Copies of this chain bind each other. A is one copy, B any other.
Amino acid sequence: MPVDFTAETHMPGHYFSRIARAMARIGDSRLKPLGFATAQLPVLTALRDGSARSQGELARWAKVEQPTMAQLLARMERGGIVRREPDPRDRRSSLVSLTEEARAKLPAGRKVLEEGNRDATAGLSEAEVATLVGLMQRVLANLDALEA
């Protein structure tokens, strides 16, 4: 006997988009006083120990394409968040690292983001959040396989 699934159950795609946008809007508005943005977090996290990485490494880490990372880094450089110095080993490349000011504000930024994630999952038990993440990891694996 077939069950009556709603259209939404067959088309979960739009939910991912709406949630991603809403979390970015909320995160960006809360991070604005610190001078950060949601999209910058992977970069900040990758460099938080003071290390320096190439643009390509950061793009692979953040799972965005290289030109996207190039633009993001340009904005971050303009905002005084990162600094670039030529890579002595490879003249094609430069090494990106955080400025002192960015490193100082970073813990506050991460706290804001964590709180946003907590707010988003309010009312869900730890087990339910784990279930949600587990299902999303399987969906992501499907999509990665499709694009490979």
Contacts and interface: CB of A to CB of B under 8 A. Distances in A.
Given A63-B18, A135-B128, A12 B143 contact: no
A42 interface: yes
Contacts of A133: 8-9, 12, 15
Interface string A127-148: 0111111011111101110110
Contacts of A116: 13
Copies in the complex: 2
B132 A23 contact: no
A119 interface: yes
Interface in A1-38: 3, 5, 8-27, 38
Interface residues of A, number: 55
A114 interface: yes
Given A12-B132, A13-B20, A13-B38, 18 more contacts: A3-B126, A8-B133, A9-B129, A9-B130, A12-B136, A13-B113, A15-B137, A16-B19, A16-B136, A19-B139, A26-B146, A121-B142, A122-B142, A123-B138, A123-B142, A124-B138, A132-B135, A132-B139
Interface of A: 3, 5, 8-27, 38, 41-42, 63, 113-114, 116-124, 126, 128-133, 135-140, 142-144, 146-147
